[in-house]
Amino acid sequence: MSYLAKMEELRRKVPRVSLVAINCENSPYVSYTGNVKNCHLLSGSERDEDCYYGFWLYDSANSTDCDYCQKCRFCYECVDCIECYEVNFSQDCSNCSNCEYCYDCVGCKDCFGCSGLRRKQYMIGNQQYSKEEYEKKVGELKKKFSQEEMMAMVEDLKKKIPHFYTHQLNNENCTGDYIYNSRGAHECFDVKEMEDCFHSNNCVSLKDCADMSNTYYNSENNYEVMSAMNIHNCNFCVTCFDSNDLDHCEHVYNSHDCFGCFSLRHAEYCIFNEQFSKEDYFIEVAKIKAEMIESGEYMQFPGSTYPYEESNAAMHWPKS
């Protein structure tokens, strides 16, 4: 039996958690989420309250159907918005309030169907109105046009207004998009506080890592890891927390020096969930790695146990 097949067999034998949720209150259906209260169907989110149907939602409250938003209140259908209040159907807005159907607006309030504005009020389609005219016109537009028609009009306006080709702030020598407070982050997307990292997305506070996804908080020297937190020197791992020196592991927590292990806590010097002495562990791992490299199995991982149709990828690339 190949080592990869052995991992697959072991994974199917051990129990696995159904949802990854940490310190969550009255939020039974959130996953890969921590420190939320009264939330429903959030994924990859933290420190939220009374929020529903969101992804990568941070420090927000009373918001629904929002993705990649932070410090937002009473927002609906927003993407990549920061510190917004009562903003709906908008994208790439920050420090805005009482706005709808807006794109790339900063410091604005009471704006409707606008793009590329800075510190404006009572604007409709980038045109200035008085307060009374604004309120009357917005009411008429909402009655006359559907949500889809309004979105289409904003898309037409976006084509006429210059906007940034990339979203970056407080960075040094970075390439990608939606990068903040980072240095030496290349081909990274939706990341913060990165240093000398490559090919990563949806990550916070990583150093010297490559090919990472949904990994957070003080993680260093990792390669090809997904859905992890506070890990060091780990390779080809999925959903591992507070651990170091893991290789080809999944759902391993508060552990170190494990190879091909699944669903373990407070473990050390384990190979395929079997205990070894410290000396025997390194000898056996070196042997297994050499054989896996020769057979081409090293750097591989057992396939997902979840249906493709239920993944985030299926939303963008439906399986034909």
- 194-223 pLDDT, tens digit per residue, is 999 999 999 999 999 999 999 988 899 999
Quote the pTM value: 0.89
Retrieve residue 280's tokens.
């025997």
Considering the domain architecture, whether residues 120 and 153 belong to the same structural domain is answered as: yes
pLDDT confidence of residue 30 = 96
pLDDT confidence of residue 9 = 93
Percent of the chain as helix, strand, coil, to the nearest 5: 20, 45, 35
Q: Is 257's pLDDT higher than 90?
A: yes
Residue 9, SS3 per DSSP: helix
Q: Is 311's pLDDT higher than 80?
A: no
Domain containing 251 equals 169-310
pLDDT confidence of residue 314 = 80
Domain stop point among 122, 141, 160: 160
pLDDT confidence of residue 178 = 96
> What phi, psi does 170 have (nearest 5°)?
60, 50
Q: How confident is the model at residue 320 (pLDDT cuts 50, 70, 90)?
A: confident
318 is a domain residue: no
Q: Give tens-digit pLDDT for 31-76.
A: 999 999 999 999 999 999 999 999 999 999 999 999 999 999 999 9
The domain total for the chain is 2
d(CA 42, CA 92): 20
Phi-psi region of 23 (alpha: psi -120 to 50; beta: other; left: phi over 0): left
202 is a domain residue: yes
Considering the domain architecture, whether residues 130 and 214 belong to the same structural domain is answered as: no
Considering the domain architecture, whether residues 87 and 145 belong to the same structural domain is answered as: yes
Q: Is 316's pLDDT higher than 90?
A: no
Q: Is 302's pLDDT higher than 90?
A: no
Considering the domain architecture, whether residues 156 and 174 belong to the same structural domain is answered as: no
Q: Is 123's pLDDT higher than 90?
A: yes
Considering the domain architecture, whether residues 143 and 264 belong to the same structural domain is answered as: no
Partners of 172 in beta bridges: 183
6 is a domain residue: no
Q: Is 304's pLDDT higher than 90?
A: no
pLDDT confidence of residue 67 = 96
Over residues 290-297, the mean pLDDT reads 94
d(CA 62, CA 50): 5
Q: Is 154's pLDDT higher than 90?
A: yes
26 is a domain residue: yes
Residue 216: Cβ-neighbour burial (10 angstroms; 0-12, 13-18, 19+): buried
Domain stop point among 99, 133, 160: 160
Q: How confident is the model at residue 13 (pLDDT cuts 50, 70, 90)?
A: very high
250 is a domain residue: yes
263 is a domain residue: yes
